[in-house]
Amino acid sequence: MDGNGQHESRITCVVADDHPVIVDALGRQLTAAGIEVLASAETADEALRAIREFKPDVAVIDVGLPDGSGIELTRVATRLQLPTRIVLYTAVAEPALLREGFDAGAQGFVLKTSPPAEVTRAAKAVAAGQVYADPLLAGSMIGRAHANEPQLSAREREVLRLLADGRTTKEIAASMFIAPDTVRTHIQNAMKHLGVRSRAEAVASALRASLIR
């Protein structure tokens, strides 16, 4: 509760995974971090219904659900312009999967093999309108770059790396000792060089090409 006697806004979440043990573990982790889990689901259909009914800030969705892909669910949610931001959760560290997920409209990507705290970091980052990519995903992409991949300046790479860590424009500016407008310029230039239209696509493209780690 704040000084005016009003409750601070609380991040709300829906979790979807077909393994009850994982759902329970995620629920406990998110709740311990102050994130309210409104509902859980075991299928893509149940997850979409929960997202439409509860309209949570964030949905943590397993990529592989019994009745369909979490990526396709993300694509549907994006097409329906639902306000919920989606973090995809997967055991597969595949660059193509990462790119496909971000292209579908996801704002975050976390590996099941990462420490549990990564899920809460991702949820909080995307709830704040940021992009989040699991640090271990970048490691899985080292050595995959090709000579014909787009080239980014050192500054552009650093800005995208910090975006992937879930940093805001203001936080990036402070850490790099530059103005927020300069950060935005670097982001726009990187997007142009990578041939993409959003920050999420820029991060995914840079990770895929091993331009950031």
Residue 133's pLDDT is 85
Beta partners for residue 179, in sequence order: none
- Domain boundary residue, one of 134, 168, 195: 134
Residue 24: both structure tokens together: 């329970």
Alpha helices in the chain (DSSP H): 20-32, 44-54, 70-79, 95-104, 117-127, 135-140, 154-164, 169-176, 180-194, 199-208
Whether the model clears a pTM of 0.85, i.e. scores above it, the answer is: no
On whether both 130 and 172 belong to a single domain, the answer is: no
* pLDDT value for 199: 85
DSSP percent split of the chain into helix, strand, coil, nearest 5: 50, 15, 35
Write down which residue in 68, 103, 134 finishes a domain: 134
Judge whether 173 and 163 are in contact, CB under 8 Å: no
Q: Give the pLDDT means over successive 10-residue stretches in the chain (213 positions).
A: 50 94 91 95 95 96 91 93 93 78 89 89 92 72 46 86 87 89 90 83 77 73
Range of the domain at 98: 12-134
23-59 pLDDT, tens per residue?
A: 999 999 999 999 999 999 999 999 999 999 999 999 9
**Shared domain check, 88 and 33:** yes
CB atoms within 10 A of CB 141: 20
pLDDT for the residue 131:
87
Q: Is 158 a domain residue? A: yes
Based on the fold, state whether residues 28 and 113 are members of the same structural domain: yes
Is 158 found in the same domain as 130?
no
Q: What is the CATH number of the domain that holds 200?
A: 1.10.10.10
Map residue 53 onto helix, strand or coil: helix
* 208, HSE (Cβ side, Cα atoms, 13 Å): 19
